[in-house]
Amino acid sequence: MNLKFVQVILALLLRGYMGLVRRTTRWQVEGLDVSVPLQESGVGFIACIWHSRFLMANAGWTKMVQKPHFLISKSRDGDLVATIGKFFGIQVIRGSRRAKYKDKNKRGAGALRDMIDVINKGDCVVMTPDGPRGPRMIMGEGPIRLAKLSGAPIIAYAVSVSNNKLFNSWDRFMFPLPFGRGKMIFAGPLRVDKDASNSEIELARKKLEDMLNQASQKCDRDMGSEVILPECKAEAKGQKS
């Protein structure tokens, strides 16, 4: 059977299912003081959500002026996700957070150029900074360096639901189930100076990582779900027990 055909069928089924989940979930939102000013400003920005919650990312964009453009890896798994994204009506940028970000004067091609174009047009780039392979909930430098080049603010976007199935995958992927409660938190914004040094970039990376982890874990606790920890902390906890 044609792989592309299978991907299209899966995407259509998932679009219908996620529509059911979104309509039947009672959502709570924290951080409107973060999201509303960005929405009203109409400026382009960067949003980071952990890989495990990617399937629920579109839930937070029902009232956003800025259209989300999701950065998806060029892996085989990314092909399926990109197909699904198109059926959800969202834009997709193909690339990898592991790619080397070029100097401002040499950023002429590829995903980086596309992301900066999106931001300059007043839309949003959504990144999963621990994907596509992990380690889980450890922030890469990609969003920070993009913010440095573009001047765009970054927000942390966390989401969890009370009815879910957690997979035993590297990211502890959360598959949402309908007829439950859901929570999303927007935190930030974080800005990176265009002249930021490598040490300042690392400080910003750690600050954003902590911000997103704290928000994600609060969502899990408030929804009564298992609180997912970053890979290194989870391993340390397992060794102590």
| Segment 171-192, tens digit of pLDDT | 999 999 999 999 999 999 999 9
Picking from 55, 47, 73, 67, the residue whose alpha carbon sits closest to that of residue 11 is: 55
**Residue 115: HSE in the Cβ half-sphere, 13 Å Cα cutoff:** 30
Q: What is the pLDDT of residues 52-70, one digit of tens each?
A: 998 898 888 777 789 889 8
Which of the pair, 232 or 106, is modelled with greater confidence? Answer: 232
pLDDT at 107: 37
Amino acid at the residue 151 = G
Q: pLDDT category, 237, cuts 50, 70, 90?
A: low
Q: What is the pLDDT of residues 101-145, one digit of tens each?
A: 444 434 334 789 999 999 999 999 999 999 788 999 999 999 999
**135 vs 131: CA distance, rounded Å:** 8
DSSP 129: T
pLDDT of residue 12: 83
**What does pTM read for this prediction?**
0.87
Mean pLDDT throughout 1-6?
70
Going by pLDDT thresholds of 50, 70 and 90, the confidence category of residue 232 is: confident
For the chain, list the domains and their CATH numbers: 3-240 (3.40.1130)
Average of per-residue pLDDT across 191-199: 97
Mean of pLDDT over the chain: 87
The phi, psi pair for 144, rounded to 5°, reads -70, -45
pLDDT at 104: 42
On whether the CB atoms of residues 175 and 159 are closer than 8 A, the answer is: no
